[in-house]
Amino acid sequence: MVYQAAKDACVYDNIDEFPLKFDTVVGERGITLSGGQKQRISIARAIIKQPQILIFDDCLSAVDTETEDSILTNLRRIMHNKTAIIVSHRVSSVQMADHIIVLDEGKIIEAGSHKELINQQGAYADLYKKQLLEGQTEYLAES
């Protein structure tokens, strides 16, 4: 179960590279881990418990978009018929959610599915376009 959770959180390969693999001591508060590794290990620990409800607060902010997509795909499978609440500034982290709530200064300003919110042409659609353009710019810079 631990190995599968590590795979689902996309951290298995990192752990496998540690000198003692899954027996490696990472130090207090994981100081020897990168931010993304800490996030993914936390996700794996949550998955192991097989909860009916998972709450993620910006849990994918330190991972690249490819890893984020893999983790979200795995979470969709794991959390089927369960509840996952994902708090994120990245549209890519929430766009597959059944219901998205957009907050501004603590107030709900929009709510709906990704498609509904894009069609509303409001704050969510603006953020989506901005993040899409930023992603394309990063891709061009890497090429």
Report DSSP letters for 67-134, one per residue: HHHHHHHHHHHHTTTSEEEEE-S-HHHHTTSS-EEEEETTEEEEEE-HHHHHHHTSHHHHHHHHHHHH
8 Å CB contact between 86 and 94: yes
Number of residues assigned to the chain: 143
When pLDDT is averaged across residues 107-112 and rounded to a whole number, the result is 96
pLDDT of residue 2: 92
Which of 24-28, 37-41, 82-86, 111-115 is least confident? 24-28
Lowest mean per-residue pLDDT among 16-20, 42-46, 62-66, 83-87: 62-66
Which amino acid is present at 84?
Answer: A
Condensed to tens digits (0 to 9), the pLDDT of residues 27-71 reads 666 667 888 888 899 999 999 999 999 998 988 878 887 888 899
What's the CATH fold of domain 1-88?
Rossmann fold (3.40.50)
List, in order, residues 6 or more apart from 70 with CB less than 8 Å away: 10
**What pTM was estimated for this model as a whole?**
0.77
Tell me, what amino acid is at 49? Answer: K
Domain ranges within the chain, ordered by starting residue:
1-88, 98-143
